[in-house]
Amino acid sequence: MIETGIIFLVTLTASTILADVLLLLFWKFNFRSYWSENISEKLQKAHPEINPMPPPELKEIPKVAVLLAVRNEEALLPACLESLLSSAYPAEKLSIWIGNDASEDQTLAIAQAFQRKDARVRVVDVKVQVGQAQAKANVLAHLVQTVAQDANPPKLLLVTDADVQVQTHWVGGMVQSWQAKPKKQEIGVVTGITLVDGSTAWGQLQRIDWIFALGMVKVASDWGIPIATMGNNMMMYLPAYRATGGYEHLPFSITEDFQILHEITKQGYSFRNVVAPQVVAFTQPMTSWNELLQQRKRWMHGAVKLPLPIVSILFLQATFFPLIIFLLFYQPLLGLGLWISKGMIQSFFIMQVTRKLTLSRKYRKRLYRYLLLYDLYAAILTPLTVGIYLLPIKTSWKGRRY
């Protein structure tokens, strides 16, 4: 009986390692880049963490609106807006729309001060619910409705958050990703890649976690599987968004980015997840375990709605650490060998993603120092995430409970 159990444990853990190997192979041999081949040799600095890069080369320069739903963000909003206003994108083609979601601090006053200083900034104080939309989805619905009233509305809508800072080529990089190598299907959603601020060890561990997760999402995207988009780093094609009826006509979801991606693909539009330095944005880490787990609980609401094969792979990943602990008890050397194997393959995959982002050597070396500790971090976080998701308690987010 014990031998049968050990064989079962080895099979499951080995399956997880095999999935990581396939992930790495798909990354190496099926990676899709959405960049023009005739790129200028001129390199421009965009952010201290990123090596100099070629600026985006656009077929045309369309009007773009950046949508920013904010709630109690007085500490973070100024830096976010400064980064957006420092964009290399032509000023006459860029507008920044801030939707205030019943903030109880100075967020609205700060937004209005920026509006007075720069004509690109527009502020909408959202006070009513439109249709079925709630929270961030409600604010975005209001903003899109307002933007679309323009006689010549922008056809591309960028979405980010107040705790994000973008580098100077972000807007142009997202636009080029939408324009490059067009398919027969029109592109409805483009997703960039967001890095967690890594100024602390806690931030570095979250950064590694995001890099690993977004790398997996990229692999699935290149196979044509819409897993996720990032609500703090995404672009929507206005006709594609309109085809869904907008957030106001969709059932409420606390993962509104996941929801809109799948609604847009249902309408026949395609999508792209892009891993390139030109589409990198930087976000703040969660400040505590409780805040981190609430974030992951919210993400789990979207993850469980994915196709069964994807959910099965995620389940295997989630059960790896509990299974390996049991295996270490009965077969220490075998269990340790499997654990080390997974850690090495996983770490190599994370390194491959960082190379695509052309992070400078200094920042990559600092990140790599935390790869071993990340295994312990993941061993704690993964079962806790599953546990808090299964608990019959509401999810706390931005001062509200869902």
DSSP annotation string for 200-258: SHHHHHHHHHHHHHHHHHHHHHHTT------TTSEEEEHHHHHHTT-GGGS---S-HHH
Backbone angles phi, psi at 310, to 5 degrees: -70, -45
pLDDT of 39 higher than 60? no
Q: What does DSSP assign to residue 7?
A: H
Q: Domain tally for the chain?
A: 1
Q: What percent of the chain has pLDDT over 90?
A: 62
User: How confident is the prediction for the chain on average, in pLDDT?
Assistant: 90
Token pair 């982002």 in the structure block, residue: 357
Question: Residues 353, 43: contact at Cβ < 8 Å?
Answer: no
Specify if 344 maps to a domain: yes
Q: Give residue 2's pLDDT band: very low, low, confident or very high (50, 70, 90).
A: low
Least confident window among 32-41, 132-141, 218-227: 32-41
What is the pLDDT at residue 264? Answer: 97
Report the alpha-carbon distance of residue 345 to residue 280 in Å, rounded.
Answer: 24
What is the pLDDT at residue 316? Answer: 77
What is the pLDDT at residue 183? Answer: 65
Least confident window among 122-136, 216-230, 315-329, 366-380: 315-329
Q: What does DSSP assign to residue 390?
A: H
What is the pLDDT at residue 54? Answer: 86
In this structure, the strands spanning 187-191 and 234-237 are antiparallel
pLDDT of 38 higher than 70? no
Please give the structure tokens belonging to residue 399: 């001062």
Specify if 388 maps to a domain: yes
If DSSP codes are grouped into helix, strand and coil, which group holds residue 166? strand
Question: Residues 205, 197: contact at Cβ < 8 Å?
Answer: no
pLDDT of 304 higher than 80? no
Q: Any bridge partners for residue 281, and if so which?
A: 166, 194
Q: Which of 123-137, 231-245, 288-302, 315-329 has the highest mean pLDDT?
A: 231-245
Least confident window among 2-6, 61-65, 120-124, 256-260: 2-6
Q: Give residue 279's pLDDT band: very low, low, confident or very high (50, 70, 90).
A: very high
pLDDT of 193 higher than 70? yes
Report the alpha-carbon distance of residue 70 to residue 98 in Å, rounded.
Answer: 7
Question: Residues 74, 64: contact at Cβ < 8 Å?
Answer: no
Specify if 148 maps to a domain: no
Specify if 346 maps to a domain: yes
Q: What does DSSP assign to residue 90?
A: -
If DSSP codes are grouped into helix, strand and coil, which group holds residue 188? strand
Specify if 67 maps to a domain: no
Residue 388 CA from chain centroid, whole number: 21
Size (the chain), residues: 402
Domain residues for 15? 2-29+297-401
What is the pLDDT at residue 209? Answer: 95
Q: Give residue 59's pLDDT band: very low, low, confident or very high (50, 70, 90).
A: confident
Residue 256 CA from chain centroid, whole number: 13
Rounded to an integer, the average pLDDT of 258-268 is: 95
Specify if 269 maps to a domain: no
Q: Which of 27-31, 78-82, 333-337 has the highest mean pLDDT?
A: 78-82
Specify if 341 maps to a domain: yes
Q: Give residue 313's pLDDT band: very low, low, confident or very high (50, 70, 90).
A: confident
pTM above threshold 0.85: yes
Specify if 68 maps to a domain: no
What is the pLDDT at residue 40? Answer: 57
Question: Residues 342, 21: contact at Cβ < 8 Å?
Answer: no
Rounded to an integer, the average pLDDT of 30-54 is: 79
pLDDT of 147 higher than 80? yes
Q: What is the pLDDT of residues 8-36, one digit of tens each?
A: 677 878 888 888 898 999 999 999 888 76
